[in-house]
Structure 1
Amino acid sequence: MSAALIGDFANTFSIAGVTSYLLASSPSENLQRIGFASLIAFSAFIAFMALVARPAILRLIHDVPEGALLSEARLVAVLLICLTCSFAGELLGLHATYGPFMLGLMLPGGAPLGVTMAERLDRLVAGVLMPLLFAQGGMRLNVKKLTGASTCILLEVLLVVGVVAKFVASILPCLYCRMPVRDAVVIGLMMNFKGITEVVYASAFMDAKVLDEQAYAAFMINVLVIGAATASAVKYLYHPEEKYVAYRQRTVQHKKLGEELRVLACIHSPEDVGPMLALLDASSPTPVSPISVYLLHLVPLAGLTSSVLRPFKNGDRNCVPSGATDSERIVNAFQFFVQQRPPASASLLPYVCIAPYATMHDDVCAVALEKRAMLIVVPFHTRLAIDGSVEPTSHNAAAVQAANTNVLNYSPCSVAILVDRDSLSTVAAATAAADGFPHRVALYFLGGPDDREALALATHMIEDAVIGLTVFRFMLPPEGQKHGGDTVEDELDEEALQEFVRRWVDDSRVTYSENLVIGSDEMVAVIRNTSPGFNLLVVGRRSESRESPLTAGISDWSEHLELGVLGDLLTSTDFGCRVSTLVVQQQTRAAAGEACRPPELPAQHRSGDPV
């Protein structure tokens, strides 16, 4: 969108400037006067919008409260100013859409103007007016009028020349900036697709005197063929999952001893701050084992033409076109958390991301890849209400859920979904008074890469802090383990657990419990009886693990697939668990650039592993 706006802006000024110059340099005095007059009129038109229309609209939106929309009177006034600019453009011989387009480029995006326009007019424009416009162009298409080949050949040559020229002009700057060739080709194709859409849009206004029905039919058919070919090429070349391949093991399990834990904390609203800070507090940052927090405030795109991703700066309104107050409060809370830690034990780098939910994961994964994050933490799309029921975190809860799923699919590192049940903050004080532990953490271990990553994260929490941890391992009886097991994964699970027991289990602060269960019923009973004694439950998502006989009976009833079987069980309303849950997914094999996951070394041999 940004490239398209720059292209349209440059194209408009180029056409106006070249046309005025050609007229002014004509030998005819009449044409020279027209050229000078058009140049003066064009300059006056731009000056009117910059010096009159823009200040008037800014005055209308100046005193609108934070988060509020424009009133009906102010919205009507803004629309009248836009119509005035459109009418003035028509008087000068410009298209009716040119004036509002230029005025929109001069105005600030986001709230309150952009959000109000999107809320009040988007459904009408996108749902009614735009389909009617394209239908108007399509109704003029009459294939039976195609009787001569010369018209078709001429139009096809013109279209191919235009497409190739725009394609080359689009990819050359990308290649100059050392962008990968395939990405540059995709951008060139997308710019051509945008141009084809504009051609179809303009065809609705074509005059029959300029283009007869035969030429129009040939023109539209060629455009549709080129558009379909372009869309197919983009689909074939564009593989979003390959953009964020880290080609390194970026997990908590493979973190070097004493290395900082790099966490990307994603926040959608101020309500997500408390649980996220409680989780970071439970991760026990110390100078020996520091934590580096990359904060990303995710704001849905509304009233803007393109996404925004930039570091946050206090008092910089250009940094956050909308939601500035929320961003400042969120960043201040995290800065206070860092200041309360011992020196050199925690650092913070805040970012703001304003993007559509459909592409929000791109910014999350891009920041995680650039900053070499080991763990991305995203909040779940529901939370516990005051009356004990589960409620959505926002009216965009479904979009937040889809964004979380995309992060899981494309993340270059490990991912954790934090399901807040208000136990990390409220239960902590009571628990500390009872046994001296500020946090009691339980890990339910079934086996697989995700469970080993969850074990590594839980181990990191207890390294330098007085935190209670209990690991519950669920195992089938010996006769049930002989069928359908994965020998390599079982060996890795056994090595990880043995190392954990040898180093940390003291039967007081850190305990380990093996539970032989026949099926899912017995496993669920153990979880139901033990979970109320903790204020954080940690489970693996088991995204790349085979289905276990212990989960076969409950996997068919999963409601939230992004949480995995155990995570969905713990957060379901039927189970009735009131404890916050952290669902962990280890960096996938694809994100690590591996065709298959190689055997992992025991923990005591990992000090030299690449990160």
Structure 2
Amino acid sequence: MTDQVYALSSVSILLTTVFMPVLVKYLYHPSRKYAGYQKRNIMHCRRNEELRVLACIHMPDDIAAITKLLEVSCPSSERPLAIYVLHLIELIGRDSPIFISHQMQKKIVSKNSSYSENIILAFNHFKQHNPGVVLVNIFTTISLPKFMHEDICMLGLDKLTYLIILPFHRKWSIDSLVDSEDSTIRTLNCSMLELAPCSVGILVDRGHLGRSMVSSNSSYYVAMIFLGGNDDREALSFAKRMANDSNITLTVVHFVASGSDVDSCWDKFLDNEILKDVKLNNVGDEYVIYLEEVVKDGPQTALIVRSLVDEFDLIIVGRRHNVDSPQTSGLAEWIEFPELGIMGDLIASSNINKKTSVLVVQQQQIDS
């Protein structure tokens, strides 16, 4: 090989090594595999259609909170529920990734096998208490944290789910103090918000949601904070399913910007349409409380929300990421967890020492 040929080969290899990864990263988008997976959200789930939910479990504490959330969604013969439970286990050492369907009666070879057995028992118990209206399928995946979002997305894609429920990365103790945080789970949640093939809900359990049970002698109070937009409409669609149990009180709090024109745009028209049956109290079998609060800016909204926290066991909000509105003006600069949106972050803030849990909903990102 001549010096000229050797030099040319070396330069070619160097250029290929430097520029090809950049080119591949620019041209390849993992979310494109879901391009044909359109309109998989709660709003497009027909009234008598089975709502398919994918619930992710990281640790035993997640089991009670998620089963409680599914319980208060009031599955019935008119609104059946299909639950696909995915137990996520971190791959350690040189083991190979494993995906297990417990319907295939395969044994888990892992130190976390008892966790999966508890999950199976808990969700089968939930199914037995809702005979004929709840379908449960349980899976376990053992993989590297950076690939877990792929397992979740592919299972959601395969099962045609409408909603994926993810536990929040921060855990609280019974006395409402921060108990632990897991940055790996937070990274996974952020990836899911960006790539999920359907709507996503991040469940922030303040250590109380899974411990409060609806019974014939107890009441459960749920609030839905509505500001407007796709995510809020999706969150309200899920909240409406809870208006079918006499033990559950659903309150919809609509924050309206002072001086705003309700007919100014298409989004406002859609907001009014989804709120119409709430205002008329024609949502479900039970009474729904509708409150309208006129606010001028974000601080006034925050003041009202903080006063509401004590009154509810669960608050449902839309994520509304990067959505500017007069109702939240001035609050974005104080946000701690952008994945929760402004309202979700406000309620889940460590400055609020309350037991109220939060469900933050993001509607399926059609343009992904």
Listed one character per residue, the Cα deviations across residues 130-165 of structure 1 (whole Å, up to 9, x for unaligned) are: xxxxxxxxxxxxxxxx97235567xx5xxxxxxxxx
**Deviation at residue 543 of structure 1 after TM alignment:** 2.5
The 1-side partners of 2:7 and 2:213 are apart by 76
Mapped to 2, the partners of 1:504 and 1:226 lie a distance apart of: 64
Residues 80 and 134 in structure 2, CA contact (< 8 A), matched pair in contact too: yes
Query: Residue 539 of structure 1 aligns with which residue?
Result: 317
- Assess if the C-alpha contact under 8 Å between 2:39 and 2:366 holds in 1: no
**Between the two proteins, what is the percent identity of the paired residues?**
35
Shift of residue 307, structure 1, vs aligned partner: 2.7
1:476 Cα deviation after fit = 1.6
2:161 to 352, 358, 373: 373
- Secondary structure in 2 matching 1:542: coil
1:514 to 287, 292, 300: 292
Candidates 227, 245, 259, aligned match of 2:35: 245
Please list the CA deviations of residues 553-611 of structure 1 after superposition, one character each: whole Å capped at 9, or x if unmatched. Answer: 111110000000000000111133320110011111224xxxxxxxxxxxxxxxxxxxx
Partner of residue 549, structure 1: 326
Decide which of 267, 278, 288 is 2:57's aligned counterpart: 267
Matched to 1:510, the amino acid is V
Q: 1:596: which partner in 2?
A: none
* Residue deviations 1:406-452 (CA, integer Å, cap 9, x gap): 001001111100000133244446x964xx53x21101111101111
Residue matched to 1:459: 240
Could you tell me how far 1:235 is from its partner in structure 2?
Answer: 1.7
Question: Where in structure 2 are there 5+ consecutive unaligned residues?
Answer: none
Shift of 1:466: 4.3
1:198-597 counterparts in 2 under 5 A? Answer: 218=10, 223-312=13-102, 316-317=106-107, 319-321=108-110, 323-341=112-130, 343-393=131-181, 397-428=182-213, 433=217, 437=219, 439-463=220-244, 466-478=247-259, 481=260, 487-504=265-282, 509-543=287-321, 546-591=323-368
Classify the secondary structure of the residue corresponding to 1:462. Answer: coil
Aligned to 1:214: none
- Secondary structure of 1:249's counterpart equals coil
Structure 2 letter corresponding to 1:520: G
Quick one: which amino acid aligns to residue 581 of structure 1? V
Q: Which runs of 5+ in 1 are unaligned?
A: 1-145, 157-217, 592-611
- The equivalent of 2:3 in structure 1 is 148
Contact (CA 8 Å) 1:378, 1:416: kept in 2 or not?
A: yes
Question: RMSD of the alignment, in Å?
Answer: 2.6
TM-score (norm 1): 0.56
Q: After the TM superposition, which residues 186-205 of structure 1 pair with which residues of structure 2 at under 5 Å, given as runs?
A: none
Structure 2 residue matching 1:447: 3-state secondary structure = coil
Distance 1:329 1:533 in 2: 32
How many angstroms does 1:463 deviate by? Answer: 3.7
- Distance in 2 (alpha carbons) for counterparts of 1:540 and 1:420: 16
Q: Which runs of 4+ in 1 moved over 6 A?
A: none
The answer as to whether partners of 2:176 and 2:353 remain within 8 angstroms in 1 is no
Instruction: Between 268-277 and 571-580, report the one with greater CA deviation.
Output: 571-580
CA–CA separation in structure 2 for the residues paired with 1:510 and 1:538? 15
Distance in 2, Cα, partners of 1:419 & 1:148: 64
* Contact 1:286–1:464 under 8 Å retained in 2: no
Letter paired with 1:331: I
Cα distance change of structure 1 residues 515 and 543 upon mapping to structure 2, 3 Å threshold: same
One-letter code aligned to 2:125: F
Is the CA contact 1:320–1:352 (under 8 Å) kept in the aligned structure 2? no
**Aligned-residue offset at 1:310:** 3.1
Cα distance in 1 for partners of 2:281, 2:314 equals 22
Distance 1:403 1:583 in 2: 15
Contact 2:57/2:87 (8 A) holds in 1: yes
| AA in 2 matched with 1:404 | N
Residue 308 of structure 1: CA displacement? 2.3
Report the 3-state secondary structure (helix = DSSP H, G, I; strand = E; otherwise coil) of the residue aligned with 2:356. Answer: coil
1:104 paired residue number: none
State the Cα deviation string for residues 221-277 of structure 1 (Å, max 9, x = none).
Answer: 664444334423422332112122344211111111211110000000111101011
Residues 279 and 245 (structure 1), Cα distance of their counterparts in 2 relative to 1, 3 Å cut: same
- Please state whether the residue corresponding to 1:528 is helix, strand or coil: helix
8 Å Cα contact 2:223/2:253 also seen in 1 = yes
* Mapping 1:96-175, distance limit 5 Å: 148-149=3-4, 151=6, 156=9
